[in-house]
Structure formats: structure tokens, C-alpha cells
């Protein structure tokens, strides 16, 4: 009797499956639309650079379709890669960026650890202060920095200005605050019990940092490293101000100073130089992108 | 292994006193459980023993030495945390050996200790896994293993089973007890679960509002609570408290619960309460198992009465019954065959030989 009733009360209306997946499909369509738009927007300039770098000077100035190469040539690449000057810029950039990354990490990691974990008087204010210094634009800072280094140079007699290694002192003013800030957030997301367990296990503060915090926060450290490298590699204003002699220049400044002579723009080589200069960060991003994103988001939601 | 002593230990956070002067002596090999509601200061006390919190006042001694200013790593203690606190980038073996490696123990010694602990905790197969590949119960075992291999003077447990589901908790409770029977290390264990406290402890320390309410064996606390807090906290379902007063009638001391309900007190009880003021507002404390269905030939001191049940909860081996006496809900435990039904009357009996009488204003058991 009752089973009969249940049978009769079975669904008569056709259930509409897939309304959720239809919504999802539309959401996806829109996402793809904007992603494609964004991809075009950001990929056109490098594409244009690539096209131009493959052209001879004659073709660049000729009134042909600027979006196509009719007589591709590698002469720009050959010229730059065999030019001692360009290789010097590249070398300067490399050594400055690598050393700055190392210096930044040596300062930021212990600083972030101290600010995140050792509760001392004023630590919270100091952490905020570190971030605030990052908010001051370098275009405001370069004159006082120049003055300071000039005074130091006068007092000590050590030549700093117009030497590539002056950048080793200048760049960390940009990289250290931000990297410290990222890592404070990352360290703060590590449960407190973890360092307490380490302390009870007999670890000192330094051992807790090196044996527990650094391995656990590795994605965050890699993100900070990439950031420090990118900032150092792409920095333009400071090297423009602090270095002037050709053999002391880093890549971004070197390209613009040597390849633009008066009002003559050597476009082919400028584009080639810029592309070659963009290659190292691009390669690093490609390999470490996942870490970079994980690190940035962890820093974003904490602290 | 060592005894642990606390002398007038105080912990102040700015103006708030989290722990208000605690005296406690824990003997060698003893398993002591600190139990109390959240915010009673039990975890703070444990963390002060560990050295993770400074003490504001008083002394803490481990093995006879005052350790007030000794850093945690030199106190020779091991701690198990609620969230396990395993090092996520290390394998189980590395987690367990971390402390020994820091102290530069020889490799062979480390290996034999890990093997031994892993065998004891039944985690030998997991030794090369990372913590994220383990279940909650397995992680808790590893956390205990990390404590065991250190062979410390004192084990400290900070609510180690709170993150586990009910079934696993019971199982791990037994594991912890077994481990303690084998290694015999002095243990201080913090929990808010009175069942855990009762089942694990040699002695239970009941804490409330930063003070120790009572220290005793599980049975002492259960049968002879000193205060209303302890009486109500220990035991499940909780003890009933009924407002009452004493009166003399027919040359016997009676306890009057309502205008219509009064019971004569059995001899020993009457003698004990003879000096209590007859006007004093009192509380009758009686556990649910001492309120049962009336039986044909009651022992002396077991008094029958009629109750109108509100709700019954069949538990299988027994049935919990709830009824009200002048706005006080009372819980009793009756046999499943007693015929208790929702919203039906039942002939009940109260065993006054096991009653407690409390001063309502001071909360102390008389």
C-alpha cells in the first residue's frame, strides 16, 4: 500500500540538471574573454620588440608594414653579443643583482624573523615602519641618498659615486623593506607551536630560524628572492643618478645611454638589448612562478 | 625522571591574574592531570612549567632545582601540543630525532631510540613519511614519539586529544596510559575533558579562575568533592543541585526540598549535619545514579518519592530521566526495565547515604 503511494509520488517534472554548470560555462567564457584581452594587451609590446629586433636599420626606417619582417636578420643580436660594452652592462647588472639579492636575504630573513616572533618593545611599530619606508618613492629618495653617499665618500676617501658597487648600498633600500614585509607575513602564518616545539627540543633562536623557519617558509623566501632580483635588475633611476661612466653602467641605463646618440635612436639594437635584458627575469619567473604566487598570496592575507 | 613542585606560582598579564598562586607537588613517575574550563589557567600553568611563559611570582622546581629562569631547552622536558606541531618539512624519523640531533647524540643511539619509540607507538611503517601524509591519530603518535625519544625528566601534554574525533580520542587515551605504564615518566597533562582527566590521572588537579579547587585521586574527587565547582565539573551527567534547608521533625533531622517534599536523614549524615544552622540556605548535591526507580525493599537512607518525568533518554544499559522540582531540573538514572516514559509519573527513590550538603553562599561542601 505504502510502496504504491511512494511510486505514484515519484518525480513527474523533469529535473533541470546542469543549471549550475551553465552558469559556470558563462563565467568561464567571460574569464577567457578578459584573459585573452589582457594577454594581447601585455604581449603586443614584446612582440613588437621582437619584430623590430629582427629588422635591419634600413627596414625599420622604410615605410613598410611595421608588424612584419620581410628580411629577417640576426645582425642586431650579433652586434650586441659581440660588443664588449653590452657584455659589460650585462655583467654589471648580473653582479649587482646577485649581490643585492644575497645582501637583501641576509638582512630581511633575520629581520622578519625577529619582527614576527620575538616580541620586543616596539616590534609592531617597527614592522609597520619597515613597510612605510617602502611606500616612499625612489624619485624622492635619490637626492638625499646621493648627498649621504657624497658625504661618506668625502669623510672616508673611498670612491663610491660613479662606481657600480655603489648600487649594492642603494638597491637594498628598495628591496629590504618589501622583502622583510613579505616574510613577516609568511613567518607569522607558521603556527606558534612549531617554534615552541623547536625551543623545547633544544633549538636556539638561530637554529629555529635555519632548521625550521627557512625550510617551512621556502616558497615565501623564493618569492622574496624573485622580487629582489627583479627590482635590482630593472632599476633605472638609481643607476642613472649614481653611475655615469660607460664602464660602470648597468643594462637598462647602458642601453638607453649608448644606443641613443643625440636624437638618433638605434631602434633595432635598443629592442634587441631590451629583449636580452628581459630574458633572465623571464626565465626565473617561468621556473619559479608557482612559488612566487604562493608566496605573494600568503604575504597578502596575513599581517 | 623527577618530581615537579610549584610554590605560590602567579602569572599576571598586565592587570589580569591568569594564575593566582598555585601550590602543587607532583611526585616522581606520577601522572597528574590539570583539568578545568577554558580560561582557568591550566594551560598557562603547563606553559610555565615548560618555560614557554615567564612566571610573575613564586617558584617552579623540577627535580629539586628551581628552574624559574632556566630556558626551556635546559629544563629537560618534552611537550606534546594540541595541534601536534610536527615539523612539516621533516619525515617522521627526522621529527623524532630533531632534539637528539641538536644535542649531537651519536647516530646509532638516535636510531635505536627512534626504533624503540616507533615500535612502542606502532608507527614503524610510517617512519619515512612526511606529517601531511599522516592521519590525525598518527600525527599525535609521532608527536608523542618525539617526546619519548628525548627521555626527558617530565612529559607535558597540552590538550593532546582535542583535535581528534571522539572514537580516536578514546583509543589514544588508552595509548597514552599504556605509554606511561611503560616509560613511567612524570607527566603533567592538561585537558578540559573531565572524562580524560578521570581515566588517565593518578591525581587530578581541578582548576577554576586561576586557582586550584581541589587535588585528589579520581575517586576522591568523584565521591568527596570539596566545592560545588568540583562536584558539578566531575561526573557526567553532572551532579544535581537542589536548594534545600534542614529542619527538625519527630526528633529526627530532615532535609526539606519543597513544601511537600522532605526526607529524614540517615544516622551518620544526621550526626554530621547536626550543627548546621537550620535557617541557612543550603544545596543538596546528589549524583544521577543515586536517584533511581524505587525498589521493593530499600536500604536504610534510601527514600521513595513520586516524580512526574519530563523527558527520558534511553542509553541502552540505563535510562536517564529528567524531572523538575520547583524549577530545578533533576536528572536520575533508572533501569531500562523501570517503565520510565516521557511525561509519565514514576515512583523514584533517592539514596541519601551518598548525598552532599553544600553551603549555597560559600559553595563549600559541608
Domain's final residue, options B230, B260, B284: B230
A127 at the B interface (CB within 8 A)?
no
Half-sphere exposure at residue A17, Cβ-oriented, CA atoms within 13 angstroms: 0
CA dist list (Å): B31 to B156, B197, B205 = 10, 10, 11
Query: How far separated are the first and last CA of chain A, in Å rounded?
Result: 65
Residue B215 C-beta-side C-alpha neighbours within 13 Å = 12
Residue B278: cis peptide before it, omega within 30 degrees of 0: no
C-alpha B205: how far from chain center: 7
Q: Please indicate, yes or no, whether residues B121 and B184 belong to a single structural domain of this protein.
A: yes
Q: What is the pLDDT of residue A13?
A: 60
Q: Report yes or no: A198 at the B interface, CB cutoff 8 Å.
A: yes
Same domain (yes/no): B182, B315: no
Nearest-Cα distance to chain B for A122, in Å, is 17
Dihedral of alpha carbons A289, A290, A291, A292, sign:
positive
Which chain B residues are within 8 Å of A117, Cβ to Cβ? none
Report chain A residues whose CB lies below 8 A from the CB of B82: 193
- Based on the fold, state whether residues B299 and B324 are members of the same structural domain: yes
Q: Is residue B235 part of a domain?
A: no
Same domain, B216 and B271: no
| Beta-strand pair B186-191/B31-35 | parallel
pLDDT-derived band at B205, boundaries 50, 70, 90: very high
In this structure, are B11 and B159 located in the same domain?
yes
The pLDDT, as a whole number, for residue A31 is: 93
- For an interface test with B, the pick among A119, A192, A201, A208 (most B C-beta atoms closer than 10 Å) comes out as A201
B224 in the same domain as B318: no
Give yes or no for A202 touching B (CB within 8 A): yes
Residue B67 maps to a domain: yes
Q: Which of A191, A207, A218 lies closest to B83 in CB terms?
A: A191
Mutate to test the interface with B, among A120, A196, A200 (most CBs of B within 10 A): A200
Number of domains in chain B: 2
Residues B258, B214: one domain?
no
- One domain for residues B102 and B149: yes
Any domain includes B254 = yes
Do the Cβ atoms of A280 and A163 come closer than 8 Å?
no
User: Could you please report the per-residue DSSP string of A43-74?
Assistant: HHHHHHHHHHHTS-HHHHHSSS-TTS-SS---
| CA Rg value for chain B | 25
- Of B83, B49, B81, nearest to B66 by C-alpha is B49
- Quick one: which H or E segment has residue A103? helix A84-117
- Residue range B53-82, pLDDT digits in tens: 999 999 999 988 999 999 998 999 999 998
Is B87 close to A212, i.e. CB distance below 8 A?
Answer: yes
Helix ranges (DSSP H) in chain B: 42-50, 92-102, 107-121, 136-149, 166-183, 194-200, 218-223, 228-233, 267-273
pLDDT at A8 over 70: no
User: Of B176, B209, B230, which marks where a domain is finished?
Assistant: B230
Asked if the Cβ–Cβ distance from B85 to A212 is below 8 Å, we say no
Looking at the structure, do residues B171 and B55 belong to the same domain, yes or no?
A: yes
Q: How confident is the model at residue A6 (pLDDT cuts 50, 70, 90)?
A: very low
Phi, psi of A41 (to 5 degrees): -55, -40
CATH code of residue B339: 2.40.50.140
Cβ neighbors of B168 (< 8 A, separation 6 or more) are B136, B137, B161
Asked if residue B364 belongs to a domain, the reply is no
Are B73 and A199 within 8 A, CB to CB?
Answer: yes
Q: Are B176 and B272 found together in one domain?
A: no
| Angle at B53 (CA atoms; ends B51, B59), nearest 5 degrees | 65
| Chain B environment of A191 (Cβ under 8 Å) | 83, 85
Distance of CA B220 to the CA centre of its chain: 12
**B366 within a domain of the structure (yes/no):** no
| Residue ranges making up the domain that contains B135 | 4-230
Nearest by CB to A200, which of B79, B88, B103?
B79
* pLDDT, tens only, B132-176: 888 888 999 999 999 999 989 999 999 999 888 888 889 889 989
Of chain B, the end-to-end C-alpha distance in Å amounts to 39
Check B50 against A200: CB less than 8 A apart: yes
- Kindly report, residue by residue over A33-66, the tens digit of the pLDDT: 999 999 999 999 989 999 999 988 888 888 778 8
The answer to whether residue B218 sits within a structural domain is: yes
**pLDDT for the residue B154:** 93
Would an 8 Å CB–CB cutoff place B50 in contact with chain A? yes
ipTM comes to: 0.83
Q: Answer yes or no: is B365 within a domain.
A: no
Residue B16, C-alpha cell as written in the block: 589580569
Closest chain A residue by Cα to residue B146 = A201
B150 to chain A, any CB pair closer than 8 A? The answer is: yes
Contact A237, B134 (CB under 8 A): no
- Residue B166 belongs to domain with CATH number: 3.40.50.300
Structural element, H or E, at residue B320: strand B319-325
B257 shares a domain with B127: no
Q: Is the pLDDT of residue A290 over 80?
A: no
Which three cell numbers, joined as nine digits, stand for B318?
A: 540505563
The alpha-carbon gap from A187 to the nearest alpha carbon of chain B, in Å, equals 14
B142 lies in a domain?
yes
Q: How do residues B92-104 score in pLDDT, each as one tens digit?
A: 999 999 999 999 9
Tell me: do B250 and B343 sit in the same domain: yes
Query: Among residues B173, B202, B230, which one ends one of the domains?
Result: B230
Q: Which residue of A has its CA nearest to B98?
A: A201
Question: Residue B196 pLDDT > 50, yes or no?
Answer: yes
Dihedral sign for Cα A43, A46, A50, A51, please. Answer: positive
Amino acid at each position: 500500500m505504502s510502496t504504491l503511494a511512494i511510486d505514484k509520488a515519484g518525480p513527474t517534472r523533469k529535473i533541470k540538471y546542469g543549471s549550475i554548470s551553465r552558469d559556470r560555462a558563462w563565467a568561464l567564457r567571460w574569464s577567457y574573454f578578459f584573459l585573452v584581452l589582457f594577454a594581447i594587451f601585455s604581449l603586443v609590446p614584446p612582440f613588437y620588440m621582437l619584430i623590430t629586433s629582427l629588422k635591419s636599420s634600413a627596414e625599420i626606417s622604410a615605410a613598410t608594414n611595421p608588424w612584419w619582417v620581410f628580411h629577417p636578420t640576426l645582425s642586431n643580436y650579433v652586434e650586441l653579443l659581440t660588443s664588449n660594452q653590452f657584455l659589460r652592462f650585462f655583467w654589471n647588472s648580473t653582479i649587482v643583482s646577485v649581490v643585492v639579492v644575497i645582501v637583501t636575504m641576509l638582512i630581511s630573513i633575520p629581520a622578519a624573523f625577529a619582527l614576527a616572533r620575538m616580541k620586543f618593545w616596539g616590534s609592531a611599530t617597527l614592522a609597520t615602519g619597515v613597510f612605510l619606508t617602502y611606500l616612499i618613492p625612489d624619485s624622492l629618495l635619490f637626492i638625499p641618498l646621493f648627498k649621504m653617499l657624497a658625504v661618506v665618500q668625502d669623510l672616508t676617501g673611498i670612491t663610491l659615486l660613479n662606481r657600480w658597487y655603489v648600487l649594492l648600498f642603494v638597491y637594498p633600500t628598495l628591496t629590504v623593506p618589501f622583502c622583510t614585509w613579505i616574510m613577516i607575513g609568511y613567518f607569522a602564518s607558521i603556527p606558534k607551536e612549531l617554534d615552541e616545539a623547536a625551543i623545547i627540543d633544544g633549538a636556539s633562536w638561530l637554529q629555529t630560524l635555519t632548521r625550521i623557519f627557512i625550510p617551512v617558509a621556502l616558497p615565501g623566501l623564493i618569492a622574496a628572492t624573485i622580487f629582489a632580483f627583479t627590482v635590482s635588475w630593472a632599476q633605472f633611476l638609481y643607476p642613472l643618478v649614481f653611475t655615469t661612466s660607460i664602464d660602470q653602467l648597468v643594462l637598462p641605463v647602458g642601453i638607453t645611454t649608448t644606443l641613443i646618440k643625440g636624437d638618433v635612436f638605434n631602434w633595432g639594437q635598443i629592442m634587441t638589448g631590451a629583449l636580452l635584458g628581459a630574458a633572465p627575469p623571464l626565465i626565473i619567473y617561468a621556473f619559479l612562478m608557482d612559488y612566487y604566487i604562493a608566496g605573494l598570496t600568503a604575504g597578502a592575507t596575513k599581517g | 625522571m623527577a618530581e615537579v613542585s610549584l610554590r605560590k606560582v602567579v602569572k599576571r598579564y598586565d592587570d589580569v591574574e591568569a594564575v593566582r598562586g598555585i601550590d602543587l607537588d607532583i611526585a616522581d613517575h606520577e601522572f597528574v592531570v590539570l583539568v578545568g574550563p577554558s580560561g582557568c589557567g591550566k594551560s598557562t600553568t603547563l606553559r610555565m612549567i615548560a618555560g614557554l611563559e615567564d612566571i610573575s611570582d613564586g617558584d617552579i622546581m623540577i627535580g629539586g632545582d628551581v628552574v624559574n629562569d632556566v630556558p626551556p631547552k635546559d629544563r629537560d622536558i618534552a611537550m606534546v601540543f594540541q595541534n601536534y606541531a610536527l615539523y612539516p618539512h621533516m619525515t617522521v624519523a627526522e621529527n623524532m630525532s630533531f632534539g637528539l640531533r641538536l644535542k649531537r647524540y651519536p647516530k646509532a643511539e638516535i636510531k635505536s631510540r627512534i626504533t624503540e619509540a616507533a615500535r612502542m607507538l606502532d608507527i614503524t611503517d610510517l617512519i619515512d613519511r612526511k606529517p601531511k601524509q599522516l592521519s590525525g591519530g598518527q600525527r599525535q603518535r609521532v608527536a608523542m614519539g618525539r617526546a619519548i625519544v628525548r627521555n626527558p625528566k617530565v612529559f607535558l601534554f597540552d590538550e593532546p586529544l582535542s583535535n581528534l574525533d571522539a572514537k580516536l580520542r578514546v583509543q589514544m587515551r588508552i595509548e597514552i596510559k599504556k605509554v606511561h605504564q611503560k616509560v613511567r615518566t612524570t607527566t603533567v597533562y592538561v585537558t578540559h575533558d573531565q572524562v580524560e582527566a578521570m581515566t588517565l590521572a593518578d591525581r587530578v588537579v581541578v582548576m577554576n579562575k586561576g586557582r586550584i579547587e581541589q587535588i585528589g585521586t579520581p575517586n576522591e574527587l568523584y565521591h568527596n568533592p570539596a566545592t560545588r565547582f568540583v562536584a558539578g565539573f566531575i561526573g557526567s551527567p553532572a551532579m544535581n543541585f537542589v536548594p534545600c534547608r534542614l529542619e527538625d521533625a519527630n526528633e529526627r533531622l530532615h532535609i526539606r526540598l519543597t513544601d511537600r517534599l522532605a526526607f529524614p536523614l540517615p544516622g551518620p549524615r544526621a550526626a554530621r549535619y547536626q550543627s548546621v544552622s537550620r535557617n541557612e540556605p543550603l544545596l543538596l548535591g546528589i549524583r544521577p545514579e543515586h536517584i533511581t526507580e524505587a525498589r521493593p525493599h530499600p536500604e536504610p537512607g534510601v527514600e521513595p518519592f513520586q516524580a512526574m518525568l519530563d523527558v527520558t533518554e534511553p542509553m541502552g544499559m540505563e535510562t536517564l530521566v529528567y524531572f523538575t522540582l520547583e524549577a530545578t531540573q533533576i536528572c536520575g538514572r533508572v533501569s531500562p526495565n523501570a517503565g520510565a516514559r516521557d511525561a509519565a509519573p514514576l515512583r523514584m527513590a533517592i539514596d541519601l547515604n551518598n548525598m552532599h550538603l553544600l553551603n549555597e553562599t560559600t559553595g563549600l561542601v559541608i
